[in-house]
Homo-oligomer: A and B are copies of this chain.
């Protein structure tokens, strides 16, 4: 299957990128934007989907500062 992992800064953890983007957008003429967060996106083919959670905790995300969410894109 093809899986997608969304990795984002944990609530309460500083997100410098989100802050920078949020500050930049109004200057570009995009008003009314808030609560911006920047994270990472990992997409991959996996045979054994039960491994995904473990993979996230061990490698893809840093559980101390990041939350992750696993999505299935296409089953196989």
Contacts and interface: CB of A to CB of B under 8 A. Distances in A.
Contact of A30 (B24, B43, B51): B51
Question: What number of copies of this chain does the assembly contain?
Answer: 2
Main secondary structure of the interface of A (DSSP, over half): strand
Contacts of A70: none
Contact of A32 (B37, B40, B42, B48): B48
Interface in A18-69: 21-22, 24-25, 28, 30-48, 51, 54-55, 58-60
Interface residues of A, number: 35
B42 A36 contact: yes
Given A48-B32, A59-B28, A40 B38 contact: yes
